[in-house]
Amino acid sequence: MAAEIIDGKLIASEIREELAKEVETLKAKGITPGLGVILVGLDPASMSYVTAKERACDALGLYSENIKLPAETTEEELLALVKEMNNNPKIDGILVQLPLPKHIDTDKVIMAIHPSKDVDGFHPESIGKMLMGKDTFLPCTPHGIIKLLLHSNVKVEGANVVVVGRSNIVGKPVANLLLNKSEGGNATVTVCHSRTRNMAEITKRADILIAAIGKAEFITSDMIKDGAVVIDVGVNRVEDSTKKRGYRLVGDVEFKTAVEKASKITPVPGGVGPMTITMLMYNTVQSAKNRK
């Protein structure tokens, strides 16, 4: 029997409906949540993400400043702009789109964002609070994954969860959120990565399998336990001459076979992706509440 499809678009739209009501309430009190987005260079994927964020802000009625800078922008110029947004009372959240050009120190830029406006959840203060289970801005994609599981009535507490991938953006933070003593947590978590031996033996024990390794269709059906819940974080371009644009998007999971083995699964696109931007909007609204 084919798996139930976890519809990220639908769940994201439900969360945005609630956010829109909160924005209306804040505006009635004279507060308009504001997001500042900085894009350096012309990376196509980054440009697409920034455009999607602009649309999300417009749809929810958020104030937004979107600054696009040339790739040759210096580190000093970027840091000065971040400082300017830190001091701008109309901006509740700052997002510097990654990746940055190689001549700019990404860590230095992340550190420059004031923790009170760190709506990406990447600042060391935010990460430290997350690890301690304290109230803070949570990284958007990991937080979105937790929301997907909760909205899909997946029992996380006590579940055996395997995360494939250990990036600072997804793998590590989602593993820690799943461990935390909070809603969507209390799981038993194993993290696999490029140096893991006999990975299939580990992934086949997972009640919930989260693939975030960045390799097209890396997780095959023989690596999945019957009835497991599969969350596919990957977005990979694969050449496809039958498509007008010359490629198609696939995840880190071989969907066509995994869908026959899992009990629930996220598609690519339309699964985790819509949740990432939604949780960015969520964090921005929360920041505006903090300002109030």
Confidence class for position 292, pLDDT limits 50, 70, 90: low
Confidence class for position 237, pLDDT limits 50, 70, 90: confident
Do 30-115 and 140-273 agree at the fold level? yes
Q: For a pLDDT cut of 70, what percent of the chain falls above it?
A: 99
Considering the four listed CATH numbers 3.40.50.10860, 3.30.70.270, 1.50.40.10, 1.20.120.1760, the one that applies to the domain covering 30-115 is: 3.40.50.10860
Active site residue 53: yes
Given this model, what pLDDT does residue 25 score? 96
Given this model, what pLDDT does residue 45 score? 78
Given this model, what pLDDT does residue 44 score? 80
Task: Tell me what the pLDDT averaged over the chain comes to.
Answer: 95
* Tens digits of residue pLDDT in 52-61: 999 999 999 9
Q: Which amino acid is at 73?
A: T
Of 53, 172, 225, 264, which residue is the catalytic one? Answer: 53
SS3 243: coil
Higher pLDDT, 2 or 229: 229
Place of tokens 């110029």: 77
* Tens digits of residue pLDDT in 247-291: 888 999 999 999 999 999 999 999 999 999 999 999 999 999 998
Structure tokens at 111: 């550190």
Phi first, then psi, for residue 2 (nearest 5°) are -65, 150
Given this model, what pLDDT does residue 137 score? 97
Place of tokens 């960045």: 214
Given this model, what pLDDT does residue 241 score? 83
Q: What is the DSSP letter of 223?
A: G
Calpha distance 61→29 (Å, rounded):
14
Of 92, 117, 118, 120, which residue is the catalytic one? Answer: 120
Mean local confidence (pLDDT), 111-138: 96
Mean local confidence (pLDDT), 96-123: 96
* Tens digits of residue pLDDT in 153-185: 999 999 999 999 999 999 999 999 999 999 999
Calpha distance 64→69 (Å, rounded):
16
Q: Rounded to a whole number, what is the distance in angstroms from the first to the last CA of the chain?
A: 50
Calpha distance 228→112 (Å, rounded):
41
Q: What is the DSSP letter of 189?
A: E
Contact 231, 271 (CB under 8 A): yes
Structure tokens at 37: 């987005």
Active site residue 120: yes
Which one, of 36, 68, 280, lies nearest residue 169 by Cα? 280
Asked if pLDDT for residue 43 goes beyond 90, the answer is: no
Of 97, 117, 172, 207, which residue is the catalytic one? Answer: 97
Q: What are the extents of the domains in the chain?
A: 30-115, 140-273
Calpha distance 70→234 (Å, rounded):
28
Active site residue 118: no
CATH topology of domain 140-273: Rossmann fold (3.40.50)
Phi first, then psi, for residue 252 (nearest 5°) are -85, -5
Given this model, what pLDDT does residue 49 score? 85
Strands 264-265 and 229-232: parallel
Least confident piece of the model among 62-66, 128-132, 288-292: 288-292
